[in-house]
Amino acid sequence: MALQAMRNLALQALLAAALAGSAAGGAAVCGDATGDGAVTVTDGVQALRAAAGLSTTCDDGCDFDGNGTITVSDGVNILRKAAGISVVDACDFTGAEANGVVSPALPVFGALTKVPGVSSQASLAAGTCDNDGTITTVGAGSSSIITFSDCRLGNAIVDGTIGRVVLGSGLALGLDALKLRRVRGGETLTLNGTLGVGDMQGAAKLIDGTLEADSPQRGAFTIAFEHIVLAGDGAARQGSLIFDLPATAAGSIARIQIDFANAERPPAIVTLRTQRIVRFLLDRNTGLLHRAA
């Protein structure tokens, strides 16, 4: 009886630890398809569904051997883990980490299109948010200040200011503590720095410059805009967005480069601190990276 009681206590402690981990949104667990922090038969079934091409809750946690695809073998190994059988797990959570860096930053394009002279489309240039938040523009002509307050733009809430100065060849935009908060997930990013905006054919604009980014999860890093062509509809159609994460930043990722081109799913190259390269494709609708096949 005493032994059984001790086993029960140990089990409870393990369960409490697992629950605490998931509640804090902590480290992902290899084999955990449902995201509850534990690995059960349900997770194995979800992986087998993914392997069969059926709807599933799977993400990186289902690719048990970390080879980039979810197969029957992954599902079987997750079932083995759920049964308490010793198996080697090698999930690669680079995708989740890369999305933590990229997805809170992409809404900056939505904010830029609200600056007079950046987007020529009246519907985009009009100072309206998708919620009750506000965009206020003070000044006009050669210089103005655009202030965002609790303004939902697509997947993010935007707060802070963008200063705008007309130069001979275009605009200079100064981002002053522009805060982006992703609605789903709640990650935040604060941006400071200057971007140059030049005119191109039609309604398109050319954006160059480097911003200082700061996030509670990552620390400080930079985001470089290299000849990014912003189409009239606010979509990036050419150029590169490069995230440089110094050694002081948290995580295993050193650099992320998204090459926009005209592709519906632009390629993103993630370089880990180990020099290993992992390739992704960006889903423009969700702003999320998915592992390239």
Q: Which residues are at the interface with Ca ion (CB under 5 A)?
A: 63, 65, 67, 74
Is the CB of 173 or the CB of 278 nearer to Ca ion? 278
What is the smallest separation between the CB atom of 128 and Ca ion, expressed in angstroms? 45
Contacts of 223 (CB under 8 A, 6+ apart): 105, 108, 191, 210, 211, 213, 241, 242, 243, 244
Which CB sits closer to Ca ion, 70 or 146? 70
Angle at 103 between CA 33 and CA 284, to 5 degrees: 95
Cβ-based neighbour number of residue 35 at 10 Å: 14
* 77 vs 103, beta carbon nearer Ca ion: 77
- Judged by CB, which is closer to Ca ion: 67, or 136? 67
As measured in angstroms, the least distance from the Cβ of 74 to Ca ion is 4
- The residues, ordered by sequence, that sit 6+ positions from 53 with a Cβ below 8 Å of its Cβ are none
> Interior CA angle at 289 toward 288 and 292, to 5°?
150
Give min distance, CB of 109 to Ca ion, in A.
34
- Distance of closest approach, residue 85 Cβ to Ca ion, in angstroms: 18
Give how far Cα 179 sits from Cα of 1, 109, 114, 159, Å.
57, 13, 15, 5
For Ca ion, the closer of residues 43 and 74 by Cβ is 74
CB of 69 to Ca ion, least distance (A): 5
